[in-house]
Structure 1
Amino acid sequence: MSDKIQSDPRAPARRKFWQKAGWRDATEIAFAADASFRRYFRLTRADGRAAIVMDAPPDKEDVGPFVEIAGILTGFGYSVPRIEAEDRTAGFLLLEDMGDLTFTRALEAGYSEGELYRLAGDVLGDLVQRDISGIRDRVPAYSDEKLLDEAMRFVDWYLRRGLGLPIGDDAREAYAEAWRSVLPSVRSVPEVLVLRDFHVDNMMVLADRQGLAACGLLDFQDAVIGPASYDLVSLLQDCRRDVSDEVADEVRARFFGAATEITDRDGFLRSYNVLGAQRHLKNIGGFARQSVHLGNHSYLRFIDRMWRFTLQNFSDEALAPVREWIEKHVPENHRVTPPPGGRAA
């Protein structure tokens, strides 16, 4: 066992967990950390078999929602990591290893962008048709209050702490009021199970499976019941990479073809644009927080692209109140990447 593993205070309990689950002869290797308190480790046996351990400190994370949403998605026929063992009290799950071929890596290896995005979009087109009446009491709602709370990260962490701009409380409240006037427009679409982080880093190519099952789904524990437009804009306006206009148009067309419940396409695109702006501004604030509060500067490289998407979404007049607030308080020379660690306001 490496010095790094030995210095990990949760390592003894984690090792005891996976040994009890039948992996006593395995070796453990850590994955790179993400933007949460969860950590992941791959267990490998001498015969080549592998599994994944999720380590979620119970005072920081709850593995319960992952187990709950995994059960729902499995019931829908989608591919998610099978849960082999669990200790919810200690915050450990033993999961099926779905491999290393994320959509991100597949694209870098030369896989067809069109084929991968069509598959992902088809999952969303199928998801919008699912009856969610039986899961509404098991999955939280994506309320306007929650959407607003997320949007406020832009002011609190990006403007104030990241850039050090003197945004007063009155201006902050005006920003909140602008969003309150805009958010009702996102509700003109069907409600679905929203996975919330539906992007190329959280999808796996499963070449041995057919149809929608060929798309492995990861990182869905924060799922909510909310607008069907949210995951589509998460997929097509991804801060990690640009999707070609041709592919994006095709994915949207296939989505509308499957989601016959959506009869007001203008209303859907309005919801799409508003939630796109909300998501980007939320993440600009969230990534600034990662840098300022946690010392994780790796996400700052995405901020320029998120600004570009935000300004693109602002062409929708439904976003006029938020756009006008940005034009007044965040002129173009302040739409920048903050320095690592931020600036104190």
Structure 2
Amino acid sequence: MIENSKVLVTGGAGFIGSNLVDRLLAQNNQVVCLDNFSTGKLENLEKALKNPEFILIEGDIRNYDDCRKAVVGCTCVLHQAALGSVPRSIADPVTSTDVNIGGFVKMMFAAKDEGVGRFVYASSSSVYGDHSGLPKVEHQIGKALSPYAVTKYADELLAANFSAMYGIETVGLRYFNVFGPRQDPSGSYAAVVPKFINSIINHENLHVFGDGTFSRDFTYIENVLQAIQLAASTPSSIIKERQQAYYKRNQELRVPGISETIAEVFNTAVGQYTSIAELADTLKRILARFDHTLARVDVTYGPARPGDVPHSMASCEKSQAILGYKPTHTISQGLEETCNWHWQRAHLNVRQ
């Protein structure tokens, strides 16, 4: 765990960021949040704003002065700020690139200038692109299928370069379809889990892109919070020792001339896959416990979306071997908790 430290969380008003902020505050840290609220929400920080150890800076990672202001005195940066969504990046690649690459470089350079030792950042399973192999392993990627995927791979390359050039330690986490409380169910670019839950609660048909056989390694937020903390707090000496053992077992992964500075990328997932059709059935079954009529919500199917990868499932071998990562929640456990949260929130709003 990260304890008794000053930590910067960029994108701290977002779904992952706000959950991370609350966890860090509960562990006796001083937490700085940098967010421009383009996708994050102030309501996600309701609890944090009551804590005297929380500092909110409304600013933009594309503004270098904002980045420098936010990182002052911080021991590590947990960079969650980004414009997510493959469809959004296809509709507006200019803004996605500006935020996800331009903002990434400014934030990482500010961290370097402040003398931050380690920079942990959110990458994405979209980096694997059209590589068809399962499970996905970190050293085998294909051709990117969307501007969003390109931005995340560019971040990984930039992080490795910064480590070699400037000595800052970087750890990228390739998130696989993260879900959980506070994830926004509305809007054109909503993720499938909250969108389906919201539709079911409102007795609306579920629309599936494709025939329902596409599958994902859905990853509950608690697993992600664990991975972030391990990536940030595992001592350098332990990482290097475990790296040597891991690469000795997998000698084909050795990259000639690799920097001695830590510059790693890890999958953050469960290592299981669930089809979209199975996801819809599971969510209806869980929510039917609150209202039996929800089991009758219809599912319709249509054309697949451009840029969507058919199947995605991670190997967690590397993250387990080097970071000690062990997922605590299966998809079933995560969906139970997430459905409970959305149901309570929906009915609290009704009563108000």
Q: Which range, TM-score by smaller chain?
A: under 0.3
Whose radius of gyration is greater, 1 or 2?
A: 1
Structure with greater helix share of residues = 1
- Length-normalised TM-score, structure 1: 0.25
